[in-house]
């Protein structure tokens, strides 16, 4: 069955769901787990550097503003990186407590590419990755890490679908109000 499961996670609610699914599978098969977080500006919740591109066009104008924006961004990025490491440590400890041999790593780069490279380097039998359910123009513009991994992975891939919250229809809202 599976001996080594690479768990590709982010800091979103989907990351927790991916971890729980992978943990259940690892306990059932006796596999070890490598929890992987790829630091990327593409990740939801990562710091964004607003207004920087326009300041970059005119570096001689407002150099102190530019410097302040960069310093603030670096501070936010360090906090984000630390938060993600804490999350990896917590989930690794949870897996170890439940009898699963687990380790973690955090690597900066392009998520799909790094996930596939790490799976190859670590010798993973399975990659567990989340899927947000993007399609059409959204997937084309924003990309899909799970789609990239599915087509480039050196091993089997399990995609965990995001839990979609029920959206109330107009008729349901009216029945609640009436």
pTM: 0.81
Top mean-pLDDT range of 34-43, 52-61, 109-118, 129-138:
109-118
% of the chain exceeding 90 in pLDDT: 57
pLDDT per residue as tens digits for the range 43-85: 888 888 765 555 565 666 667 777 887 888 899 999 999 999 9
- pLDDT of res. 71: 87
Average confidence (pLDDT) over 105-133: 94
Domains of the chain by start residue, with CATH: 4-44+85-177 (3.40.50.620)
* Residue 139 confidence (pLDDT): 47
For residue 86, is pLDDT > 60? Answer: yes
Say what the pLDDT of residue 137 is.
53
Here the contacts of 73-80 (C-beta below 8 Å, separation 24 or greater) are 73/47, 73/49, 76/47, 77/46, 77/47, 80/11, 80/39, 80/45, 80/46, 80/47
User: Cα-Cα-Cα-Cα dihedral of 23, 160, 125, 31, to 10°?
Assistant: 10
Mean pLDDT estimate for the chain: 84
Does 1 score more than 70 pLDDT? yes
């Amino acid at each position: 069955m599976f001996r080594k499961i690479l768990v590709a996670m982010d800091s979103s609610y989907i990351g927790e769901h991916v971890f729980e699914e992978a943990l259940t599978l690892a306990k059932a098969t006796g596999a070890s787990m490598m929890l992987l977080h790829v630091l990327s500006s593409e990740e939801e919740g990562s710091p964004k550097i607003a207004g920087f591109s326009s300041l970059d066009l005119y570096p001689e104008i407002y150099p102190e503003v530019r410097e302040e924006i960069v310093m603030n961004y670096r501070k936010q990025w360090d906090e984000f990186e630390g938060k993600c490491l804490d999350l990896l440590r917590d989930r690794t400890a949870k897996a170890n407590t439940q009898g699963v041999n687990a380790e973690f790593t955090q690597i900066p780069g392009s998520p799909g590419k790094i996930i596939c490279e790490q799976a190859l380097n670590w010798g993973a039998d399975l990659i567990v990755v989340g899927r947000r359910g993007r399609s059409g123009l959204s997937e084309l513009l924003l990309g899909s890490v799970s789609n990239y991994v599915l087509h480039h992975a050196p091993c089997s891939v399990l995609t965990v679908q995001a839990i979609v919250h029920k959206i109330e229809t107009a008729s349901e809202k009216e029945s609640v109000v009436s």
